[in-house]
Amino acid sequence: MKFDLLKNYLKGSIAVACNDAGAANIVINWLKNMPEIKVRAHLGGPAKELWDRAFPNSINYSLEDALKECDLLISGTGWASDLEHKARLLALSKGLFSVGVIDNWVNYEMRFYRKGQVVYPNEIWVVDEHAFSLANSKFPELKIRLLPNYYLDDQVSKIKDLQQVPTSKPNRTKILYALEPIRVPWLKKEMVSGEFQALDYFVSNVTGITDNPVEIRLRPHPSDFIGKYEDWIDQQNPNLKIEISNTKTMVEDLAWSDIVAGCQTYVLVIALSAGIRTIISLPPWAPRSLLPYPSIEELRVTLGAKK
């Protein structure tokens, strides 16, 4: 059956500590069809909103209470807060078996490092073969497990269901640009963060990917503050149709789109899996892409080939 593999590892009472959306989405989709498992969650940031949506009326425990009488800690490995790091540290002090979920392909070592302190879980769980290979090379002393990605399966299924709904499309190419925080200024002389450098580069060269008029929809990252991109939009060519997404779910935006672009966000992987054309927007001066999917286009490569 679908969940037989998970049932080998998810047993008894489980503590979950998540702040970032990536690992939270994966853990939620592991657990939501396994009601026999007792879960005590300690949540913050985007993960709390996702959890509340998946499990209405659930309790958000303090970290100490979440780890009480549990057999296992499952934590995310995001960088946006110390919540998950503190959970692993407390689990270590209590002798509680700990699992860290890695949902991406970048900054593996730094996920477990805070203020000069490194705290590893007992095991690392990943959900694709690329991450499995990378994690084994980065952490040869740790047990790495490859588990099913039910979150990706669920998202692709929902996208295809919405795509089957007949819609009248104008003669425009609909582009979803999935934003993500990248604070490093690759061109230091500009003192502009990487995410805005990539966005500028993409908009300046959008005619290189389609001959049709375009309609660009920006979908902010869950950690972005409201209004972050309003000034940038105001500075763009008024003839270029750009708007902030007002849809509730990423699935709706993906089903709407003809093309999905972004730097290295996991949204590109979901779009690719759903059969949508995907484009990496990293500019030529940015580091190489770490997304391990050669079928995702790179704008800088596409433009270079046309010269």
Residues 104 and 174 reside in one and the same domain = no
The domain of 124 spans 4-148
CATH number for position 9: 3.40.50.2000
The CA–CA distances, whole Å, from 122 to 17, 75, 251 equal 15, 11, 34
- Pick from 200, 161, 134, 176: nearest CA to 267: 176
Last residue of a domain, one of 122, 148, 174: 148
Residues 94 and 202 reside in one and the same domain = no
Residues 171 and 293 reside in one and the same domain = yes
Residues 277 and 163 reside in one and the same domain = yes
Residues 106 and 213 reside in one and the same domain = no
Last residue of a domain, one of 86, 113, 148: 148
Sign of CA dihedral 122, 128, 129, 134: negative
Residues 36 and 75 reside in one and the same domain = yes
**Residues 203-215, buried b or exposed e (16+ Cβ, 10 A)?**
beebebbeeeebb
CATH number for position 204: 3.40.50
Per the structure, how many domains does the chain have?
Answer: 2
Check pLDDT > 50 for residue 1: no
The DSSP-derived string for 17-52 is EE-SHHHHHHHHHHHTT-TTSEEEEEE-HHHHHHHH
Residues 244 and 271 reside in one and the same domain = yes
pLDDT band of residue 48 (cuts 50, 70, 90) is very high
Residues 111 and 14 reside in one and the same domain = yes
Residues 144 and 273 reside in one and the same domain = no
Last residue of a domain, one of 128, 148, 168: 148
Per the CB < 8 A criterion, the answer to whether 156 and 132 are in contact is no
Residues 80 and 16 reside in one and the same domain = yes
Q: Which of 92-101, 144-153, 180-189, 269-278 has the lowest mean pLDDT?
A: 180-189
Residues 126 and 184 reside in one and the same domain = no
pLDDT given at position 35: 78
Give me the sheet containing 123-126, strands edge to edge: 38-43, 13-18, 72-76, 98-101, 123-126, 143-146
Distance CA 232, CA 93 (A): 47
Q: Average pLDDT over the chain, rounded to whole?
A: 91
Q: Which of 153-157, 185-189, 212-216, 271-275 has the lowest mean pLDDT?
A: 185-189
Distance CA 35, CA 125 (A): 21
Residues 135 and 189 reside in one and the same domain = no
User: What pLDDT, in 10s, does the model give residues 261-300?
Assistant: 999 999 999 999 999 999 999 999 999 998 999 999 999 9
Distance CA 252, CA 41 (A): 28
Check pLDDT > 80 for residue 187: no
